[in-house]
Amino acid sequence: MTDRANIFDAEIAKARCNAYRRRILDMSQKVSALHIGGAFSCTEIVDLIYNELMRPSLDGGRSPDTFLMSKGHGCMIQYMILVEKGILSQADLDGYCTPHGRLGVHPDYGNPGIEASTGSLGHGLSMVVGMALAERGRNTGGRIYTVLSDGEIQEGSTWEAILMASSLKLSNIIAFCDNNDFQSLGRTSITHPSFYPLTDKFAAFGWETVQCDGHSSAELYETVRNRRGDRPLMVVAKTIKGKGVSYMENVPLWHYRSPNKDEYKQAIAELGAQI
Amino acid sequence: MRNTFSEALYEAATRNPDIYIVVSDISPAGSMGKFSTQYPERFINVGVAEQSMIGICAGLALKGCQPFAYTIATFSLYRPFEMVRDDLGYQNLPVTVVGMGAGVIYSTLGGTHHTMEDIAIAGAIPNMQIIAPCDPAECTEATKWCAAQKNGPVYLRIGKAGEPDLTKGAEPWKFGKLRYLRRGTDVCILTYGCITKMAAQVADRLQAQGKSVSLVSVHTMKPLDREGIADALKRHKHVIVIEEHVPQGGLAPQTKQLAWDVQATCRLDTFTLKDEFIHCYGSWEDLLEAHGISVPIILAKVS
């Protein structure tokens, strides 16, 4: 088991994320059922987890680390990465949301690379705690990575898990809160202004907590690399819903809408210009 | 049953390092002290946080462990219902959700602590299995089975303490198969869980009246032993269902449905809790009587 020390390249990460976003837009022209906004807000985070943080196994098998997508509606970015890694196939992607396919709008346990069924918010973090306990019990050194949405942290069940993770001193949990400040009906900071700043709340519950730019792969990477590691880590990642496409950014409509042909062309052109 | 549950689980845990128990501020008595002392990493108290209790069990099971969730039945099933459905049922994980003190055993604690509709609720979840042992020995068998099975989730509905032994000399316990505690030819009483104690008293009285009585523990409430029930409906002139559960979704309606399906010709009487929250604060027997279940009430109706 080795860390991927000192091989991080921010420019390569940026190119990867740009390509993932374009592939997600391509998907949106085949099927309309997908959450683009929430996938684009956590693109850098999920990319970093899979491509930089999770350690490869020495024998070519499974990583000793686990990724659980707690904000299941963001899974399109996960699917793109799993296809790139050959864990899911292009045929799987072609069958997305079709009667004979196996991939739906939310991740299903049992599909390759999917560690838990999520989609209903507030379930992921407790499962992460259970997984982290199992890894500790077996002394495997396995780390559990997860991405929560900022709407999801309004669930009381998330806070039960927050409490348990710190009480059990599960230092092998590394969580990211995709703080795009949007939920279905508007800004999370307007729904619950007293919830902010978020970092105080996680810190009060005994987590190591750091806030950073969730679209800066380098910042995210350094945040995790520099963690103290004696307790669970919550990275409050400040993100933009629909990041990368001007007309999608911070517009709630794009939570669950696909672009038409002209919008698609514009989005691809904008992303192309960012490379 | 709490004691035999914890003894059986402790025994299983000494042999299997993947067995965990996640409790929510309620711990089974008896051997659970030994369990928590010897295996502190595998005894997790989440406090009053039942949703995380179920989710943590799911996470453990996703990593190949064999976890048990344990608290009072209302809080192990109702409070974290969506976690039981999604995390355990949908993902089909081998987690045992123990509902302790089910029925109206917590008789003086009021409706918040009465578990009257758990079979209907748990039984409605695809993949869920349900076991409701009738006495401590059956609880031991059920716990051992739960500790070894990998089929999927189980709701294990148990009592509290002081249940009499009812299964001595009975045929062996087998998951999914109803169990004759005594065999007769005239009347058959189908029951499960703690109320089997009262069903046995009814059987005694009917036998004293000269009837040949079967007493059956339908301990596996899902999957229900439909063949076994159909056979009982065929081989007896009179079948009586006694259950500590509301009229909908339990053994009584399922037996009636089966009776129709197999065109049974026997007489069929059912005794269930009422579809009501009853504000009575007496003993377990007082509560049952308020719901219309007691030995004299049953005898008056079936004799």
pLDDT given at position A184? 87
- Position B218 in a domain: yes
Q: Say whether both B212 and B291 belong to one domain.
A: yes
Average pLDDT over every residue of B268-273: 98
Whole-number percent of chain B with pLDDT over 90: 96
pLDDT given at position A4? 58
Q: How far apart are CA B97 and CA B84, in angstroms?
A: 8
Which domain does B251 fall in, by range? 179-302
CA distance B42 to chain A (A): 8
What is the distance between the terminal CA atoms of chain A, rounded to a whole angstrom?
33
Domains in chain B: how many in total?
2
- Looking at this predicted complex, what is its ipTM? 0.96
User: Rounded to the nearest 10 degrees, how much is the dihedral formed by the CA atoms of A123, A128, A134, A138?
Assistant: 170
Q: Say whether both B193 and B152 belong to one domain.
A: no
Interface of B with A in 47-86 (CB under 8 A): 47, 49, 51-52, 54-65, 67, 82-83, 86
pLDDT tens digits, one per residue of B74-104: 999 999 999 999 999 999 999 999 999 999 9
pLDDT given at position A1? 43
Phi, psi dihedrals of residue A209, rounded to the nearest 5° = -130, 130
- Position B168 in a domain: no
CA distance B294 to chain A (A): 41
Q: Say whether both B58 and B126 belong to one domain.
A: yes
Q: Say whether both B242 and B295 belong to one domain.
A: yes
Name B241's bridge partners. B190, B270
pTM to 2 decimal places: 0.96
Does residue B1 have a pLDDT over 70?
yes
CB B193 within 8 A of CB B102: yes
pLDDT given at position A5? 54
How long is chain A?
275
- Position B109 in a domain: yes
pLDDT tens digits, one per residue of B12-59: 999 999 999 999 998 877 788 899 999 999 999 999 999 999 999 999
Which of B101, B122, B157 is the C-terminal boundary of a domain? B157
- Position B163 in a domain: no
Indicate the SS3 state at residue B203: helix
Q: Do B60 and A130 touch (CB under 8 A)?
A: yes
Domains by residue range for chain A, with CATH: 45-241 (3.40.50.970)
- Which helix (H) or strand (E) segment holds residue A66: the answer is strand A66-69
- Bond from prior residue into A232 cis (ω within 30 degrees of 0): no
pLDDT given at position A58? 76
- Position B172 in a domain: no
Q: How far apart are CA B252 and CA A1, in angstroms?
A: 57
pLDDT tens digits, one per residue of A187-218: 999 999 999 999 999 999 999 999 999 999 99
In the DSSP assignment, the letter for residue B103 is B
Does residue B125 have a pLDDT over 70?
yes
Does A162 reach chain B within 8 Å, measured CB to CB?
no
Average pLDDT over every residue of B171-198: 98
Q: Say whether both B149 and B216 belong to one domain.
A: no
**Could you say which of B20, B49, B90 has the minimum Cβ distance to residue A117?**
B90
**Could you say which of A131, A137, A164 has the minimum Cβ distance to residue B62?**
A131
pLDDT given at position A3? 56
Q: Say whether both B188 and B243 belong to one domain.
A: yes
Q: How far apart are CA B96 and CA B5, in angstroms?
A: 12
Q: Do B91 and A116 touch (CB under 8 A)?
A: yes
DSSP state string for A72-116? GGGHHHHHHHHHHTTSS-HHHHHTTTSTT-S--SS--BTBTT--S
Phi, psi dihedrals of residue B217, rounded to the nearest 5° = -90, 110
Q: How many CA atoms lie within 13 A of A208 on its CB side?
A: 18
Cβ-Cβ contacts under 8 Å, A125 against chain B: 55
Whole-number percent of chain B with pLDDT over 70: 100
Average pLDDT over every residue of B174-180: 98
- Position B127 in a domain: yes
Q: How far apart are CA B193 and CA B131, in angstroms?
A: 9
pLDDT tens digits, one per residue of A31-58: 887 889 999 999 999 999 999 999 998 7
CB B2 within 8 A of CB B136: no
- Position B146 in a domain: yes
CA distance A223 to chain B (A): 26
Which residues of chain A are modeled with pLDDT < 50? 1-2
Q: How far apart are CA A263 and CA B267, in angstroms?
A: 70
Interface of B with A in 83-122 (CB under 8 A): 83, 86-87, 90-91
- Which helix (H) or strand (E) segment holds residue A233: the answer is strand A233-238
Q: How far apart are CA A147 and CA A177, in angstroms?
A: 6
Q: Say whether both B146 and B261 belong to one domain.
A: no
pLDDT tens digits, one per residue of B220-239: 999 999 999 999 999 999 99
Q: Say whether both B209 and B138 belong to one domain.
A: no
**β-bridge pairing A144-149 and A173-179:** parallel
Cβ-Cβ contacts under 8 Å, A140 against chain B: none
- Position B98 in a domain: yes
Q: Say whether both B188 and B258 belong to one domain.
A: yes
Q: In the block, which residue shows the tokens 């999920």?
A: A46
Q: Say whether both B245 and B151 belong to one domain.
A: no
pLDDT category at B302 given cuts 50, 70, 90 is: very high
**Could you say which of B17, B59, B64 has the minimum Cβ distance to residue A126?**
B59
pLDDT given at position A57? 83
- Which helix (H) or strand (E) segment holds residue A40: the answer is helix A36-41
Indicate the SS3 state at residue A101: coil
In the DSSP assignment, the letter for residue B175 is T
Q: What is the largest CA-CA distance in chain B?
A: 57
Q: Say whether both B143 and B211 belong to one domain.
A: no
Which CATH number goes with the domain that contains B255? Answer: 3.40.50.920
Q: Say whether both B97 and B215 belong to one domain.
A: no
User: Rounded to the nearest 10 degrees, how much is the dihedral formed by the CA atoms of B104, B106, B112, B116?
Assistant: -20
Q: In the block, which residue shows the tokens 């960012």?
A: A274
Interface of A with B in 94-153 (CB under 8 A): 109-110, 115-117, 120, 122-123, 125-137
Which CATH number goes with the domain that contains B81? Answer: 3.40.50.970
Other Cβ atoms less than 10 A from the Cβ of A65: the count is 22
Other Cβ atoms less than 10 A from the Cβ of A140: the count is 14
How long is chain B?
303
**β-bridge pairing B66-72 and B187-191:** unpaired
